[in-house]
Amino acid sequence: MKTDILLESGTNELEIVTFKVGDSLLGVNVAKVERIITYQPITDIPHSSKNVKGVINHRGNVLPVLDLNTALKERCQKAPTERFLIIININKSSFAAEVSSVIGIRRLSWTQIEAPSSILLKGNETPITGIVKTNQDETILMLDFEKILADIDPSLALKESTETNGLEGKKLIVAEDSTFLLKVVNESLLKAGATVEKFGNGRDAFEYLQTCPVDEVFCVITDIEMPVMDGMALTKQIKSNPDLKEIPVIIFSSISNEGLQNKILSVGADAQITKPEIDKLVELIKTFER
């Protein structure tokens, strides 16, 4: 199964692949999914992380396979030969995730997704970025693959920038739903001299932009995947507003594919940087003139 559905840019919609791991119903953005394949033999790797089941050879590429049953503390009753592998690409890296079953693809609005409560996020242990509200008697949990990968290999996690100057006197707007990533980005920008206004979704960021003096804002940095209003819709709103359209907008996301590049251009974003390249983000901000 190959996923190549494209949505019109800036509509605040997304497609998710829904699947099960044990009894949990989960979802991942289609934009992160390269393809879905049926079972193939997994080669065990001695002394690897408990959340890594092994590796597969997929079209000539050796890919690690995440053991989601272990990572999510679930049990799968299906035999390995009845399970599926979802090939995922984030931060320019590909890997496979073994799942119990694949349900299908569903189109949603980001307004249907709410952030997990602070109780679930306590200690930053829950690999869930959002909870989907549906009209049916079900709950879909949006899985945070970035966190699962970072727990396996800390080198994949976003780290503070090494830049210590160059943004003095510049006011930046940051929209990012991950509290951990928002903290790292904020501290990196502060270290470089900027002042930062932080928001957990695009709607709150846009409402703030409409109330503050435009000439005070140097740049907007936004993630794509956020509840309520995503980064594409935020960018389109900014670039469609005569009073705000001159503010540079940078998309800072873990998603990286050719279709995304076209969408970013269509909503008017000035640039895109793939996580976790935060040093490049700071350097890019320095090149803008306001």
Q: What is the per-residue pLDDT across 225-240, written as a single tens digit (0 to 9) for each?
A: 988 899 999 999 999 9
Rounded to the nearest integer, the mean pLDDT of the chain is 87
pTM, two decimal places: 0.82
pLDDT in tens, 167-194: 999 999 999 988 778 888 999 999 999 9
At residue 9, the pLDDT reads 67
Return the CATH fold of 158-287: Rossmann fold (3.40.50)
More confident of the two residues 93 and 125: 93
Q: How confident is the model at residue 6 (pLDDT cuts 50, 70, 90)?
A: very low
Q: What angle do CA 13, 99, 52 make, to 5 degrees?
A: 110
Average pLDDT of the residues in 248-260: 83
**Topology match between the domains 13-155 and 158-287:** no
Query: How many whole angstroms separate alpha carbon 215 and alpha carbon 127?
Result: 38
For residue 187, give Cα distances in angstroms to 28, 80, 197, 229, 282: 28, 44, 12, 24, 12
Predicted local distance difference test score (pLDDT) of residue 128:
83
Please say if the pLDDT value at position 4 is more than 50.
no
If we measure between CA atoms, which residue out of 160, 126, 162, 161 comes closest to residue 146? 126
> What is the CATH number assigned to the segment(s) 13-155?
2.40.50.180
Tens digits of per-residue pLDDT, 122-157? 555 668 888 898 777 788 999 888 888 878 877 666
- The residue assigned the tokens 């840019």 is 9
Question: What mean pLDDT is predicted for residues 108-112?
Answer: 91
pLDDT confidence bin for 5, thresholds 50/70/90: very low
Q: Which of 164, 195, 200 is nearest to 182 (CA)?
A: 200
Q: What is the mean pLDDT of residues 239-260?
A: 88
pLDDT above 90 for 274: no
Task: Indicate the domain borders of the chain.
Answer: 13-155, 158-287
